[in-house]
């Protein structure tokens, strides 16, 4: 029992509620939000420390022991993701201060922001499948509001599609939960793992597993990403950064959790399906990233490619590749947020999203330019930077486990990432200046600060990979051998 | 009884999917609501429709009904209620902005 685990939910939830009553006091809203995110980082660090020292932490709500009642579990994987999400959430908050505009701030932007974080932390920490659904809904409802906040026609149109896709997929999620409950009689994830192992993962279980995979893939943008590029282009840059960094990762987290803990007895069906989907996602994402010439679409297809890449690591499912998945997931959350921050800076500096209308920004904004260049290298996985370690672990075990074709696709997709981002770098930062009037963005320095913090983090995660790996391999060990997780939750 | 409810679920899903595939925004919206109802019934039925006393120890009955599906459905209803309400307001707002509830116009190519 560890009551600390509920705080990552309670703090943003309470903050969000308090901010509702402070609608007109924008300054106060900012101060309270900032305090809240910093407290959250501190608590996330404490959770990581406790998991590191004392092993997997659990919290039985109301003292009801499993399989009854709701359980919160923090293994190293969940704890690391909560910490990463807290850091990136704080950066997004400070980026919002500079870029979101007072109009949105007065219409409950920060409230939705904190509710979204509530849902994200909840999804990472819960140990119960239905509770996962509830946390998903919390973050989705907040994300609906954040996409549409501002009410332009594009936003209304894209939100309609986004809601429709998510309402249907949530319905299917509940249906899958219903089937699973009928087949096993429990919804506690650790207990489910025990029951599925007892009953054997036969036909019915595989159908349920594939249905769950379908639902989570819709949320994560794995293969079923048709809604993603347009929806994520509609809101302002700060929201895009938050979504690109966190939302798809929650879906991926659900896939990893379900297919490393519960459905692990028939890898030939479930994991090879994930492998196929991962390959198709990387190829289609690459096509999209090459096809478009505007900033938001190129970045959004880069999200898709990285989702495919992480799914590839899941399908290989060795200890080494799961370590890689955890490492790469953490890197990707930070790096994608930074990518969208820099996209926001480019947008503010050039006043357009179309690449052909940009040029020559490097003269006025050398720091932004070189940060973008280094980030592109980090996303590709050039050695001293954060993308390298995770990528190496996944691809190495991919080749080791005879997933040659998939590994080659994964490597090729890295080149597409490199090409598409260097294209942006070249067209936006090099060449002659294209726009006549000089745009002087108002809050450029304030937008730069959170980007710089994440930039330092990307470099530190790369240089300190050995140190990070100490934590990551603990997370990977639990994913590779779920017995530790099950024992921690089901102990009397 | 299970057969009857299974049929009802099937009808709800069929009608729901049909409505979601249509062009009008309001129909799509009703379709999602019907699908959600179907899912709730599914949740209730899949656990098995048992007869028994309410799950309170004071009842001292031979068999009790399973309280978990009810709890899940209650939660799910609350969520779908909230999302539907938001969806309806959004659909109205989109109708006011676009002047039509035809989703053909929601494709949005080229002009942005």
Q: Report d(CA A188, CA A68) in Å as an integer.
A: 8
Helix axes A465-480, A387-400, angle to 10 degrees: 40
ipTM of the shown complex: 0.93
Q: State residue B98's pLDDT score.
A: 80
Give the count of alpha carbons within 13 A of A313, CB side only.
32
- Whether the CB of B42 is below 8 Å from some CB of chain A: the reply is yes
Band of residue A447 on the pLDDT scale cut at 50, 70, 90: confident
| Contact between chains at B28 and A164 (C-beta distance less than 8 A) | yes
Q: Which of residues 88-117 of A touch B (CB under 8 A)?
A: none
Band of residue B99 on the pLDDT scale cut at 50, 70, 90: confident
B43 close to B75: Cβ distance less than 8 angstroms: no
**Which pair of structure tokens corresponds to residue A7?**
């705080």
Q: Which residues of B touch A153 (CB under 8 A)?
A: 97-98
A229 close to A298: Cβ distance less than 8 angstroms: no
Q: Which residues of A touch B93 (CB under 8 A)?
A: 151, 156
| Contact between chains at A171 and B36 (C-beta distance less than 8 A) | yes
Is B111's pLDDT higher than 50? no
- Whether the CB of A61 is below 8 Å from some CB of chain B: the reply is no
Is A383's pLDDT higher than 80? yes
Nearest residue of A to residue B99, measured between CA atoms: A153
Average of per-residue pLDDT values in chain A: 91
| DSSP secondary structure letter of residue A58 | E
Whether a cis peptide bond, with omega within 30° of 0, leads into A67 is yes
pLDDT (mean) for A322-328: 94
Can you name the residues that pair with A257 across neighbouring β-strands? none
Q: State residue B108's pLDDT score.
A: 63
pTM of the model: 0.94
Q: State residue A412's pLDDT score.
A: 93
Q: Which residues of A touch B91 (CB under 8 A)?
A: 160
Counting beta carbons within 10 angstroms of the beta carbon of residue A440, is it exposed (0 to 12), middle (13 to 18) or buried (19 or more)? exposed
Minimum distance, in Å, between the CA of residue A61 and any CA atom of chain B: 16
Q: Report d(CA A445, CA A442) in Å as an integer.
A: 8
Minimum distance, in Å, between the CA of residue A450 and any CA atom of chain B: 29
| Contact between chains at B43 and A181 (C-beta distance less than 8 A) | yes
| Contact between chains at A154 and B103 (C-beta distance less than 8 A) | no
Q: State residue A126's pLDDT score.
A: 94
DSSP string of A309-357, one letter each residue: HHHHHHHH--HHHHHHHHHHHHHHHHHHHHHHHHHHHHHHHHS-SBGGG
**Which pair of structure tokens corresponds to residue B57?**
């120890």
Is A385's pLDDT higher than 90? no
| Contact between chains at A178 and B43 (C-beta distance less than 8 A) | yes
Q: Report d(CA A421, CA A338) in Å as an integer.
A: 13
End-to-end Cα spacing for chain A: 11
Is A445's pLDDT higher than 90? no
Q: Report d(CA A254, CA A258) in Å as an integer.
A: 6
Long-range own/partner contacts, residues A317-321 (CB < 8 A, 24 or more apart): A317/A259, A317/A260, A317/A264, A317/A267, A317/A271, A317/A480, A318/A397, A318/A400, A318/A401, A318/A480, A319/A476, A319/A477, A319/A480, A320/A393, A320/A396, A320/A397, A320/A400, A320/A476, A321/A393, A321/A394, A321/A397, A321/A398, A321/A401
- Whether the CB of B68 is below 8 Å from some CB of chain A: the reply is yes
Minimum distance, in Å, between the CA of residue A294 and any CA atom of chain B: 11
Band of residue B110 on the pLDDT scale cut at 50, 70, 90: very low
Residue in A141, A170, A174 closest to B43 by CB: A174
pLDDT (mean) for B28-55: 88
Q: What is the CA radius of gyration of chain A?
A: 21
Q: Report d(CA A109, CA A145) in Å as an integer.
A: 9
Band of residue A211 on the pLDDT scale cut at 50, 70, 90: very high
Band of residue A441 on the pLDDT scale cut at 50, 70, 90: low
Q: State residue B83's pLDDT score.
A: 95
The set of residues, in sequence order, having a beta carbon less than 8 Å from that of A223 and lying 6+ positions away, is A217, A277, A280, A281, A284, A308
| Contact between chains at B75 and A134 (C-beta distance less than 8 A) | yes
For A398-415, the pLDDT digits (tens) are 999 888 999 999 999 999
Among A287, A268, A288, CA closest to A276: A268
| DSSP secondary structure letter of residue B110 | S
Q: Report d(CA A304, CA A416) in Å as an integer.
A: 12
Band of residue A435 on the pLDDT scale cut at 50, 70, 90: low
Among A406, A64, A85, CA closest to A244: A85
Is A217's pLDDT higher than 80? yes
């Amino acid at each position: 029992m560890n009551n600390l685990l509920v705080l990552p939910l309670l703090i943003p939830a309470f903050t969000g509620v308090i901010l509702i009553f402070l609608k007109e006091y924008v300054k106060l809203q900012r101060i309270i939000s900032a305090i809240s995110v910093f407290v959250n980082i501190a608590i996330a660090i404490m959770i990581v420390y406790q998991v590191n020292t004392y092993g997997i932490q659990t919290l039985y709500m109301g003292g009801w022991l499993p399989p009854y009642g709701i359980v919160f579990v923090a293994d190293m994987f969940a704890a690391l993701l909560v910490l990463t999400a807290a850091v990136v959430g704080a950066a997004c908050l400070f980026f919002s201060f500079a870029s979101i505009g007072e109009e949105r701030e007065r219409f409950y932007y920060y409230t939705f922001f904190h509710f979204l974080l509530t849902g994200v932390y909840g999804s990472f920490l819960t140990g119960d499948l239905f509770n996962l659904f509830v946390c998903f809904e919390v973050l989705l409802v907040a994300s609906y509001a954040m996409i549409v906040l501002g009410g332009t026609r594009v936003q209304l149109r894209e939100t309609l599609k986004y809601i429709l896709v998510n309402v249907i997929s949530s319905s299917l999620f509940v249906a899958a939960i219903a089937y699973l409950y009928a087949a096993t009689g429990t919804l506690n994830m650790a207990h489910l793992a025990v029951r599925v192992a007892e009953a054997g993962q036969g036909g019915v279980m595989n159908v349920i597993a594939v249905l769950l995979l379908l639902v989570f893939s819709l949320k994560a943008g794995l293969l079923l990403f048709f809604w993603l590029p347009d929806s994520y282009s509609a809101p302002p840059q700060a929201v895009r950064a938050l979504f690109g960094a966190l939302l798809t990762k929650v879906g991926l987290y659900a896939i990893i959790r379900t297919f490393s803990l519960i459905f692990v007895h028939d890898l030939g069906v479930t994991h090879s399906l994930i492998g196929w989907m991962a390959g198709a996602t990387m190829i289609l994402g690459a096509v999209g990233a090459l096809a478009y010439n505007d900033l938001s679409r190129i970045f959004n297809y880069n999200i898709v490619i990285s989702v495919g890449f992480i799914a590839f690591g899941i399908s290989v499912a060795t200890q080494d590749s799961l370590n890689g998945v955890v490492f790469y997931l953490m890197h990707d959350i930070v790096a994608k947020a930074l990518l969208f921050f820099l996209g926001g800076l480019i947008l503010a500096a050039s006043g357009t999203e179309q690449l052909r209308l940009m040029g020559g920004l490097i003269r006025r904004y050398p720091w932004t330019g070189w940060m973008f260049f280094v980030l592109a290298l980090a996303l590709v996985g050039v050695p001293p930077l954060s993308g390298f370690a995770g990528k190496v672990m996944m691809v190495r075990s991919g080749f080791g486990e005879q997933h040659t074709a998939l590994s080659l696709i994964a490597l090729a997709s890295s080149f597409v990432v490199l090409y598409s981002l260097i294209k942006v770098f070249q067209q936006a930062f090099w060449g002659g200046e294209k726009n006549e009037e000089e745009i002087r963005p108002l809050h450029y320095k304030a937008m730069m600060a959170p980007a710089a913090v994440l930039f330092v983090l990307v470099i530190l995660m790369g240089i300190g990979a050995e140190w990070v790996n100490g934590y990551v391999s603990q997370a990977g060990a639990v994913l590779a051998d779920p017995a530790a997780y099950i024992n921690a939750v089901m102990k009397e | 009884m299970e057969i009857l409810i299974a049929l009802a679920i099937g009808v709800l899903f069929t009608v729901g999917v049909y409505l979601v595939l249509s062009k009008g925004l309001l129909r799509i919206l009703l379709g999602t609501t019907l699908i959600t109802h179907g899912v709730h019934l599914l949740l209730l039925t899949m656990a098995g429709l048992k007869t028994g006393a309410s799950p309170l120890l004071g009842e001292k009955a031979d068999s009790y009904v399973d309280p978990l599906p009810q709890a899940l459905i209650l939660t799910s209803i609350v969520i779908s209620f909230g999302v539907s309400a938001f969806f309806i307001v959004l659909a109205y707002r989109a109708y006011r902005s676009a002047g039509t509830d035809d989703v053909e116009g929601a494709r949005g190519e080229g002009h942005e």
